[in-house]
Amino acid sequence: MTHRPQQFASDNYAGICPEAFEAMARANDGSASAYGEDVWTKRACDAFRDLFETDCEIFFVFNGTAANALALSALCQSFHSVICSTAAHVETDECGAPEFFSNGAKLLTAASPDGRLTPEILRALATSRSDIHFPKPSVVSITQATETGRVYSIDEVRAISFAARNLGLKLHMDGARFANACARLDCAPADLSWRAGVDVLCFGGAKNGLGLGEAVIFFDRALAADFEYRCKQAGQLASKMRFLSAPWLGLLESGAWLRNARHANFCARKLADAVEASPGVSLTFPVEANAVFLSAPPAMLDALREKGWLFYTFIGAAARFMFAWDADPAQVEALAQDIVEVSRTITP
Ligand SMILES: *Cc1c(COP(=O)(O)O)cnc(C)c1O
């Protein structure tokens, strides 16, 4: 059953993009070694090394919660802490998995208006206590693009990694929408990750066009020691690994990873441009990736729902619209027209 008309409540509503689907079908050719010892997995790892222009270590897991939680657990002892934003997915949407898999490392959250950390914020939190009674800061985690649809510039990531390094902290990047950030900045993935000081990147696949799967990328190979055991213990080692890795190969070799992200960002921009001048409606955050957050009176949001549109309001009561590789520009247009219409007919 397909959803008609197309909705933009989540970028996880999208199906699998053709490049990923075809690569999975190509890998479905006879038998192959299990648990990642197959040619598809090797080629997908090499494709990541080409993309990132470095000899990184790559692990394929089923979802983002596992990617983040296991990556953070590799960077922490149980008595450590992880500095992140109050809006971070690791804090708000992972059911305590980072704490669970690290055997108790604590997330130290900092409030910021748009979910972005700054060197000042992380320094203040990291130096707030230095006694033995407080969990020792060990890692900084940032999300790129953020949960609010914002993008850190390369210089901003560099400034954060510089501050982190000076405090002896590692830098983890939740890149569930890393491709959207690269598309926005039109930069090399290396410049936005290891060259800017990121130690471990969780590169999102599901929101980029896969059916499922995220890649945990260690730029500092020493940090990846025994990581395969963490994956296995957590139920994240796929036995028929080729079906998790081959779709990545499809995304990377065809360039679809970037095309998909560009298209998603384009659709967000298109909606924002069409509605931002409407009375009563305002953009909650600058639109920099594939998300549009709209602040509007509750009556307008109700009217939009009555017109059949689905959306969440869990961040600051704003209506969130997310776009993926499959967003139909005509449907984006239809949504924009309905927003303009409710803004005209409903007086705040
Ligand atoms: C979607 C998302 C994830 C991954 O979530 P899962 O549902 O566990 O795959 C991670 N981080 C951010 C910021 C996300 O938006």
Q: Whose CA is nearest to atom 15 of ligand 1?
A: 176
Pocket of ligand 1 (CB under 6 A): 63-65, 89, 143, 147, 174, 176, 206-207
- The full set of domain ranges for the chain reads 18-256, 257-346
- The pLDDT of residue 3: 52
pLDDT higher than 60, residue 19: yes
CA 201-39-262 angle, to 5 degrees, is 45
CATH classification (class only), 18-256 = alpha beta
pLDDT higher than 90, residue 348: no
* pLDDT averaged over every residue in the chain: 96
CATH classification (class only), 257-346 = alpha beta
Q: What is the mean pLDDT of residues 195-213?
A: 98
Q: What is the mean pLDDT of residues 71-96?
A: 98
Tens-digit pLDDT profile for residues 276-320: 999 999 999 999 999 999 999 999 999 999 999 999 998 888 999
Span from the CA of 348 to the centroid of ligand 1 (angstroms) = 34
Rounded to whole angstroms, the Cα distance separating 112 from 85 reads 7
pLDDT higher than 90, residue 347: no
- The pLDDT of residue 2: 53
Nearest to residue 142, comparing CAs of 167, 118, 163? 118
Q: How far is CA 341 from CA 6, 333, 346, in A?
A: 19, 12, 8
- The pLDDT of residue 209: 98
- 23 burial (CB, 10 Å; 0-12 / 13-18 / 19+) is buried
Q: Which mutation among 89, 117, 173, 207 tests ligand 1's pocket best, with the greatest number of atoms within 8 A of CB? A: 89
Tens-digit pLDDT profile for residues 45-60: 999 999 999 999 999 9
Q: Which mutation among 63, 93, 293 tests ligand 1's pocket best, with the greatest number of atoms within 8 A of CB? A: 93
